[in-house]
Amino acid sequence: MPRKRIDPHTLTVLEFNAVLETLGAFAASDLGREAARSLYPSTDAHWAKTRLAETSELRLVLDRGERVPMAGLRDIAPLLAGLGKKGTMFEPVQLLEISDTLAASGRLRRFLTNLEPAQSVHLSALGEKLGDFQSLVDEVKRCVGSDQRVRDEASERLREVRRQIGILSERIHREFTRIVSAPHLRTALENEKFLMRHGRPVVAIKANYRQSLRGTVLDRSNTGATLYIEPDALVELSNDLEDALFEEKKEVDRILRDLTRLVLDEQKTILASVRMLALVDLTYAKARFSIAYGMTEPDVRTDGALELRQARHPLLLQWASQEHDCDVNQLTDQVVPIDVRLGDDFDLLLVTGPNTGGKTVVLKTIGLLALMTQSGMHVTARAGSSLPVYRQIFADIGDEQSIQQSLSTFSAHMRQIVNILTRTAKGTLVLLDELGAGTDPIEGAVLATAILDGLMQRDGRIVATSHLGQLKTFAYTAPRAENGSVQFDTETLRPTFRLLVGTPGSSNALAIAQRLGMPEGVLEQAGSLLSTESDGSSELINQVQTIREDAERKRTASRAALDEAEATRDLVRKRLDRLRSEQRRLQEQADHEIDRSMRAVRDVMAELAAQTQNAPQVWMRQVAEAVERVSELAASTPLAVRHAEFIETLRRGDSVYVVPFKRDGVVERIRRKRKAIVVFLDNKQVEIPFEEIGRPDHGAR
């Protein structure tokens, strides 16, 4: 990430962290969620393009219905950081966490590098950076069971010690049973249960009968009525068991230390893979976020121009989906989209009109989508939208909707604007809300005009909102400036939230007053005063406005024609994709038919060979040669070759589809000489022939 960072105040006022929280909810693990919370918009165009491409490629994978193997991811970096001191070692549960994560790294590496190369260039590059720790995973699994206990198979010494422990434990239980079964103890016994105190076997004896059993009192009940006595007859056996348990612990600790050393030997590579796993999970979250919110990949432009088509505020979409209790993709017109451009034929867009909230939504939508693009996220806008990678983004957006503005509020905004003015340069996006508010309207308009002019002289790209009508003239007369407005419905007295570029806003004060029942005489006097106050520029502005509106209509018509052409192109491309998909389906069907036919011929030849076992030697040899030749042909069909390649890539812990059971299982062992795989199904191990194993979700050959 480059040193230059987007202004933190901008991220706050645009509520970028809320978008990151939503993004994190789509991650598969804490690794991805933490990566989402830590995501910061970049000012590096190459970085942004690469992250966008990764998101698009993974979305394509998900759109195809493929299941990305994200299970098992954990943030094991703190575990590794907590070790390394002499004498410390990982516990079995920690080793299993590490093993699961390393196994996930291997699965994701194989998945990403085996995707269609032409459509997954960036994902393949991610996969190549993930480590394959299969030997380490196998060693941990060999030594530590799923019950979080070191397995007997971990070493011959451990197996022998545990065998001794079993023998001693059985002898102790037999001797205990003999002791408590003695007739002279029946009255003395509190109960006949096998009990332990301080790691030693004891018999519960009533205190009054202490002399009935030779041994050592190890404990008493709370009332003192019961004594827990270790019988002398068990002392030697218990000592032997204690020694064996000590030897077991020594051997278990040695095994855990060896496993810990194996992990720490690869610590650097493992940590690098964990960082890549976080990036993969973050990309996975971005792709799922994109699907859920109907996003598209924006084009990243190098000329500094922005064009958003049918753009919606992502947090408003989220709010609307919660309000209507439906998925975002099911929303229709609850959030009105905006079309906006900047930096092509004008560098300043001044959105004027009454304080209805719509202008602020425009600013926040533009700002958030720019931040999302520079974070490698898709945007909530129509395909064909484009944004540059801004070197800096400034936003001064506050609650300026009230009529009364305090001096402290005005001063705070001025301080922020002064900061923006001094730091604005080429490649800067500036978003200013209600510029000139909070002071005398005439002074506010003059000051706002000077601020906008200063920002344009510094090559900034500016979107500003204001309800001051005097600023409209500046937007008409200043080179590379344009007026805009949020459409207002005078019938309903509510904004439509549709952005009109090229059309200045109106306060609509007289129209609103009329709709609310203002007396006609008052309205006529107000209209007369308005015409008297006019300085004669209104007629000129109206003429210019007519010309601009006509140009905007033509531009809209051109865009509609271009959209239609793009839609036709997309339709043709989809039809071509369907034809290619159908071609692949037919080819796969043909491959299956060839494979089935060859296997049927092979079975017939095998039956013939069985029937000719007593035939003359020369016939048997010819039949055997024919059977071998047919087997070779059956193994060389396209489907058989692909299946053999798939079997060759399998490793312990991989998921496979088990045809006889019609469900997925997990590979435990591969017995290549027997051409079979031992698979975990419902916590049971089952041996399945190679030919009855297939890819997950795809079935067998």
Compute the half-sphere exposure of residue 11: CA atoms within 13 Å on the CB side of its CA.
Answer: 20
DSSP 376: T
What would the two tokens of residue 358 be? Answer: 């719509």
In this prediction, residue 170 carries a pLDDT of 93
Distance, in Å, from the CA atom of 363 to the CA atom of 343, rounded to the nearest integer, reads: 15
In this prediction, residue 528 carries a pLDDT of 72
What would the two tokens of residue 623 be? Answer: 């039949």
In this prediction, residue 666 carries a pLDDT of 84
Domain-by-domain residue ranges, the chain?
A: 8-133+266-290, 154-250, 295-519, 567-635, 650-694
Q: What CATH number is given for 154-250 in this structure?
A: 1.10.1420.10
pLDDT digits (tens, 9 = 90+) for 227-284: 998 999 899 999 999 999 999 999 999 999 999 999 999 999 999 999 999 999 999 9
In this prediction, residue 400 carries a pLDDT of 41
Given this structure, which CATH class describes domain 650-694? mainly beta
Host H or E run for residue 670: strand 663-671
Give me the residues of the chain with pLDDT under 50, please.
1-3, 400-407, 535-537, 699-701
Distance, in Å, from the CA atom of 228 to the CA atom of 634, rounded to the nearest integer, reads: 73
> 26-36: string of b/e by CB count within 10 Å (b at 16+)?
bbbbebbbbbb
In this prediction, residue 402 carries a pLDDT of 37
Distance, in Å, from the CA atom of 411 to the CA atom of 396, rounded to the nearest integer, reads: 12
Exposed, middle or buried: residue 329 (CB in 10 Å: 0-12, 13-18, 19+)?
Answer: exposed
In this prediction, residue 688 carries a pLDDT of 87
Residue 27 Ramachandran class (φ > 0 left, ψ -120 to 50 alpha, else beta): beta
What would the two tokens of residue 269 be? Answer: 């590579």
Which of 2.170.140.10, 3.30.470.20, 3.40.50.300, 2.60.120.260 would CATH assign to domain 295-519? 3.40.50.300
Instruction: Classify the C-alpha dihedral 506-507-513-516 as positive or negative.
Output: positive
Instruction: Classify the C-alpha dihedral 250-251-256-259 as positive or negative.
Output: positive
Distance, in Å, from the CA atom of 112 to the CA atom of 49, rounded to the nearest integer, reads: 19
Strands (E), 585-654: none
Host H or E run for residue 494: strand 494-501
Distance, in Å, from the CA atom of 599 to the CA atom of 396, rounded to the nearest integer, reads: 73
pLDDT digits (tens, 9 = 90+) for 582-636: 776 666 666 666 667 666 766 777 776 676 666 676 666 776 777 677 666 766 7
In this prediction, residue 373 carries a pLDDT of 97
Contacts for 492 with CB less than 8 Å, ≥ 6 apart: none
Contacts for 555 with CB less than 8 Å, ≥ 6 apart: none
* CB 639, CB 632: distance < 8 Å: no
* Closest CA relative to residue 142, chosen from 245, 255, 254, 271: 255
Residue 227, SS3 per DSSP: strand
Compute the half-sphere exposure of residue 629: CA atoms within 13 Å on the CB side of its CA.
Answer: 6
Compute the half-sphere exposure of residue 429: CA atoms within 13 Å on the CB side of its CA.
Answer: 28
Task: Identify the bridge partners of residue 296 per DSSP, sorted by sequence position.
Answer: 379
